[in-house]
Chain A
Amino acid sequence: MDWLNALNLTFGEFIGAYTAAYVLCALGLAVHFGFTGLLNFGQAAFAALGAYGYSIATLSFGWPWYSSVLFGLLCSAAFAVVLGIPTLRLRADYLAIVTIAAAQALKFAVSASIFENVTGGSNGLSQFGDSFYALNPIPKGRYDFGVFALSENELFIRIVAWSLIILIAVFLFFLTRSPWGRVLKGIREDEDAVRSLGKNVFSYKLQSMIVGGSIASLGGMVFVMSSQTNQPSNWGTNFTFMLWTILLLGGAATILGPIVGGMVFFGLLMFLQSVMEGLVNMGWLPFLDIAQVGQIRFLLVGVALMLLVIFRPQGIFGNKKELQFNG
């Protein structure tokens, strides 16, 4: 088996653009669930709105990258308000069902053929990154990093994505330690206590939805920008479930948690996949074929999610006292 190749692929995943996109969305989820205690299972919708907002603004309106980014952020903020107003007063498990339903409804809507000339229907949209990649100051060519090589655009999206993660992590670090952040944590621990202090709990929850949703929409943009394709099938429930696994792996009420959680998660998945593919190719797993190895990836996500919630709900970095599932 090619151990070197497996390790190279694993290392590539640590800093991959998709990993960065998931990390951003998981950071948004950390604001929702980790700091405010909202069981949001529709995070895919926020990411999808960022991605569709950006690509539709670029392709249909012909806007430059910065207005497209703003439009994407605006779309997901608007969705946070529309979704939040009816649902944030509901009990936690209702919120979970409604958010997952809203995300699925949105996915059905963007893949519907009646909106095909705007959203591209089930094929989605592609080639909307020209104005973004025009910013790329890196000269054209292949850049060799010892274990793997990247083109100038692949390098650029990685630099932008991880810089964005650092910026947002610093922003969240100060935000969660601000008076505003303390109110959020108060809501997570005991809503009624915060309410009795005269705080408008609903308004804080809505603000948390908007902040976390906007961060997730940036993640969505990074996700589609790396391949310049945006397909509705990306934004299914599996996307959200993977985010939850990443978040709970790292630690929900931490900022480093989603970042390290995302890197470990994708690194581990890629490592296991390459090892299993190696074993299949060597004929050691006769009951599997290569296509099924990809399916086992998701099976492992499920197993990881179950084991984490049962045995280590606070994740790698979390403090057990800081994780209340409110139920």
Chain B
Amino acid sequence: MSQLNIRAGRKAGVFLGVLAMLFAILSAGAPAKAADDPSTYAYTIAGTLLNNEKPLVGVNVTAQLDAFKASAKSDDSGAWTIMVPKAGIYNVSIDKSTLPAGVSFTKADGDKLQADLTQTDFAAVLFSFGKSTVVAENFGDQLIVRVWAGLNFGLLLAMAAIGISLIFGTTGLNNFAHGEMVTTGALFVWFFHIVVNLNILVSAVIAILLTTVFGWVQDAGLWKPLRKRRMGLNQMMIVSIGFSIVARYILLLFFGGDTKDIGGGGNIIKLGPIFTSDIALISLVICVLSLAGVALFLTRTRLGKATRAVSDNPSLAAATGIDVERIIRIVWIVASALTGLAGVLYGLQFQATWLTGFDILLLLFASVTLGGLGTALGATVGALIIGMIVEVSSLFIANELKYAAALVILIVILIVRPQGVLGKKQRIG
């Protein structure tokens, strides 16, 4: 749902891209034998001229580099190909006098383009004709769309971040392998829904259960023995980095490196300026309910109170008769179930790869740090802020820098308020 404002204009581009690839396949095998025979040149520039999805026939296209110059006419489907002898950046232009009457370029200087053949032996050149079809949305609408996306993403982050925060609070461990629990949630729901072909709800439940088992086994088999050895927390953090690498590459070995599409994006629902899907709406409701559930659990139940007591001071909690190891075990189970659920919802809304969790791990840490390490409510607030920053920042900066923006904000906030938004001062030590 991030590409709404350019949704309309790119149909022709996709079509041309497909054609370009066909040309690439056809031209890849062409060997360069005789230098003066154009059909044996090693490099190819090609494209298709379409005006309003109708081909433009018989238009002259010229490619030029230094002294070399070659032309071609577009054929019945509007396609043209020029073979060129050497690498370089070619100027490609259209002879305007050969255009049919009434056809104009989208941009005034749209008859001159460049083809970059420095890295590859094939370049596709797309001339665009007719009026621009990109719909410009006004800023307010864009902002609402982004805030909605940020809310959605932030809630997903919050579910996983609360897990990190609970584990950190009770054991002091910064678990770098937490992202892999998001990944297992997403990949298992893909496996059971798409491969085994189970009902989506059943697969989701199985995925969450398996992730919970993963978390429980992880604690019982790795972290509990290390706690017994009284290993330093920083040492345990490095162990968790090693463990995350192991878990990640095991997932890669079993699931492969390709991107898994699970939900197919769901059905589109329009709310004012916002295009969203039924999956996103359901996910939002599930997130809010689970977060409320965690909040009630921590504040209203005996177990939750015991958890907070262990977070505050494990020795004191043990002295009052709380079984600290039991609380830690329960925390691990709750945390991994929540994280698995976050992974399932993430995989359904976006897509899943073996790196899904690792990609958002730093955002999770940023959320937890921003809210104040070890406070569950803080992690939720932090995650919502990070989600908003990630999505809203893409209004102002390039989309590919949105994660970087969140990480820079994390560093800036640590300068101003190192204990986080809701943290207590002594936590940063």
Q: Could you tell me how many residues of chain A have their Cβ less than 8 Å away from some Cβ of chain B? A: 51
Within 8 Å CB of B373, what residues of A? 94
Q: Is B135 an interface residue (CB 8 A)?
A: no
**Does B129 sit within 8 A of A, measured CB to CB?**
no
Contact with A along B247-281 (1 / 0, CB 8 A): 11110110000000000000000000000000000
Does B22 touch A at the CB level, under 8 Å? no
Tell me if B243 and A309 are in contact (CB < 8 A).
no
Inter-subunit contact B428/A295 (CB<8 Å): no
Interface size class of B (residues with CB under 8 A): 35 or more
Q: Which of B174, B241, B398 has a CB less than 8 Å from the CB of A113?
A: B398
Contact in complex: A92, B234 (CB < 8 Å): yes
Nearest B residue to A109 via CB reads B404
Contact B407 A105 (CB under 8 A): yes
Q: Do A241 and B241 touch across chains, with their CB atoms under 8 A apart?
A: yes
Residue of B nearest to A106 (CB): B404
Any B CB within 8 A of the CB of A325? yes
Question: Given contacts A96-B174, A299-B250, is CB(A305)–CB(B238) below 8 Å?
Answer: yes
A105-B404 in contact (CB<8A):
yes
Mark out the residues of chain A between 66 and 90 whose CB falls within 8 Å of any chain B CB in the assembled complex.
Answer: 83, 86-87, 89-90
Q: How many A-B pairs fall under 8 Å by CB?
A: 139
Q: In the complex, how many angstroms separate the beta carbon of B223 from the nearest chain A beta carbon? A: 11
Q: Which residues of A contact B412 (CB under 8 A)?
A: 86
Closest chain B CB from A98 CB (angstroms): 6
Q: Contact: B243 with A87, CB < 8 Å? A: no
Chain A CB within 8 A of B117 CB: no
Per-residue CB contact flags for chain A residues 6-35 toward chain B (1 = under 8 Å, else 0) read 000000000000000000000000000000
Q: Is A303 within 8 A of B401, CB to CB? A: no
Bound-state CA distance A90–B30 (Å) is: 60
With A97-B174, A302-B246 as contacts: A39 and B234 at CB distance below 8 Å: yes
Q: Is the CB of B232 within 8 A of A326?
A: yes
Q: Per-residue 0/1 for A271-310: is the Cβ within 8 Å of any B Cβ (1 yes, 0 no)?
A: 0000000000000000000001001101101111111011
Pair A299/B249 contact, Cβ less than 8 Å = yes
Q: Quick one: which of B207-248 are within 8 Å of A by CB?
A: 226, 231-235, 237-239, 241-248
Is B411 in contact with chain A by the CB < 8 A criterion? yes
Q: Which residues of A contact B (CB under 8 A)?
A: 39, 41, 83, 86-87, 89-94, 96-98, 100-102, 104-105, 108-109, 111-114, 123, 237-238, 241, 244-245, 248, 292, 295-296, 298-299, 301-307, 309-310, 313, 324-327
Chain B residues engaging chain A, CB cutoff 8 angstroms: 119, 174, 226, 231-235, 237-239, 241-250, 252-253, 358, 362, 365-366, 369, 373, 398, 400-401, 403-404, 407-408, 410-412, 414-415, 418, 428-429
28 A-B pairs, CB-CB below 8 angstroms?
Answer: A86-B411, A86-B412, A87-B414, A92-B234, A94-B369, A97-B174, A101-B365, A104-B404, A105-B404, A108-B404, A109-B404, A111-B400, A114-B398, A114-B401, A241-B241, A245-B242, A296-B253, A299-B245, A299-B246, A299-B253, A302-B244, A304-B242, A305-B238, A305-B241, A306-B243, A310-B235, A325-B233, A327-B237
